[in-house]
A and B are shown apart, each in its own frame.
Chain A
């Protein structure tokens, strides 16, 4: 299965009148998880989160694709002034 880059947030059993709601729910929870942390703590949190989610996905092909996509955007950004 290739990396899913389409919108994919769902809340099984909950109907949303507005398509943006489950994504906004996630983002709110993510920002909330960082609230009150120092910068080094936040960095560690992000790293732990990546590792947990990577384990959940498990399939190395998907993870390699995500790693490449994530890195590519960072390189592009650095290249541009």
Chain B
């Protein structure tokens, strides 16, 4: 048991299907109640789907695992109803500092500009996050969360998937129209379908230690990520230090492939490493307790396809990355963000089945970007040959001297959302726009006032269904045409983004762009319209409203091909 955390035990319940003559038919089953499976379940329930979640365990993540939750993930958590809780409990940071030996070689800022609700990154132990997700899931009656229900077999068919689940009271069978596999690196679903996950295993080992520092003496403002190449306390290897909630700190020490993982876990040995690391940072006077120790290796690999008929793979079951870019849990949550609105439209018969192929297109591209960046970071930290090591060391030595060396130092390229630039759901621009709100981009946030004049943010005004952002007030004719979009089979709700002093009429949703930041970030002029997807990505944009163009872009964003 940790000194700062007691694991909850969630109650096992007997399945009502036990002893049934025929399998029960259900619309959606999610396998795995980790952060990604739970995010999928909450998203499904919020979008109006009934969902059963099965998990073989009865508690949250054990030990020290995921740490960093990126801005985009926090925005998804806001949509799922737990963003505030995660940010309040976690440790906010934007700055990463990188050292070579005793010298700082460079630092980066994940959020160099103001006017965003969420910070670049929040650190929080995975068990806290999972607990918040479980508690949020339990508020939603559409979620049937089944602890200690272990998936045994999966039989895929054309119209669904037959699942056999084992419990303390015996086995039962479900027929699920759709199955989301969020069952992690060693996915049972993946194995049951006989599918491979391809990529490389890195020949290196890392020691993880979670420690509790004597909080009274520790500077509360020190929240930045610290990374060392060849530090004086751990010569020839790298090290990483992150602050988490409750004054728990996470330290990672690179050990090399030859290290003996069992011997490295001896508490005295770990304490000596931690002590040396603290001492060398001028923290010799601060005591600590060990909370957790483990040794890990990792892989960079993905499945060739994330969709297999009625089975959809999300998170680690689909793709696994090295931990140095915080791209594991973050990309998993972003998978579910991408998937659930599509699944809802397909289940409702409002969009063609092909819309779900775009989940594979879009999140496959994101996985490739995450794999590329995390593999490059790992290659830099763990050079594979003498030549690679000489070049790496040359970069580090130049980084001490000139800015040109600093850009090549790779101590982890931290998770940022993928711009889905090549997505088949995008409608290409026909007019010129500056900036980054291109079709396929996740929305930039901006501070606004809501219709009641209260301080608010732009992003939470989107994310339920499709939204048409219209900058400035339309005339009566355009206003009526925009209103008509809300009555279509797939509704598009208008949101007017207005300069200070303007007001939309009664019955209209609008915000005030108090600092003009929304207009600047979206390169908007009066009349500019953006069609926004339910996952807060740009589908299309125009300099003036055109109902025919909006409906065509909506159809395309819903998987209709012309």
Contact = CB atoms under 8 A, between A and B. Distances in A.
Interface of A: 4-9, 17-20, 23-24, 26-28, 30-31, 34-35, 37, 39, 42-43, 45-46, 69, 72-74, 77
Interface of chain A: mostly helix, strand, loop or mixed? helix
9 tightest A-B contacts by CB? A42-B387, A5-B402, A7-B407, A34-B387, A23-B407, A5-B404, A73-B397, A6-B403, A39-B386
B254 to A, nearest CB: 18
Contact of B391 (A31, A35, A77): A31
11 contacts: A5-B403, A24-B408, A26-B408, A27-B391, A28-B376, A34-B387, A43-B387, A46-B387, A72-B401, A73-B397, A77-B397
A4, A26, A31, A77: residue with the most chain B Cβ atoms closer than 10 Å:
A31
A20 B108 CA distance: 11
Contacts of A19: 407
Given A5-B402, A73-B401, A27 B410 contact: yes
A69 B385 CA distance: 26
B397 A24 contact: no
B436 interface: yes
Contacts of B406: 7
A63 B407 CA distance: 21
Interface in B397-421: 397-398, 400-404, 406-408, 410, 413, 416, 419
Nearest to A33: B387
Contacts of A4: 404
Contact of B413 (A6, A20, A30, A37): A20
B521 to A, nearest CB: 14
Interface string B363-390: 0000000000100100110000111101
A67 to B, nearest CB: 14
A73 B380 CA distance: 20
Contact of B379 (A6, A23, A31, A43): A31
Given A20-B407, A34-B385, A34-B388, 5 more contacts: A5-B404, A26-B408, A27-B410, A31-B388, A45-B387
B248 to A, nearest CB: 30
A8, A9, A42, A74: residue with the most chain B Cβ atoms closer than 10 Å:
A42
Given A30-B391, A42-B386, A73 B403 contact: no
B358 to A, nearest CB: 21
A17 B410 contact: no
Contact of A27 (B380, B387, B416): B380
A62 B374 CA distance: 35
Contacts of A31: 379, 387-388, 391
Given A17-B419, A28-B376, A73-B397, A8 B404 contact: yes
Contact of A73 (B386, B398, B419): B398
A46 to B, nearest CB: 8
Nearest to B395: A27
Contacts of A18: 413, 416
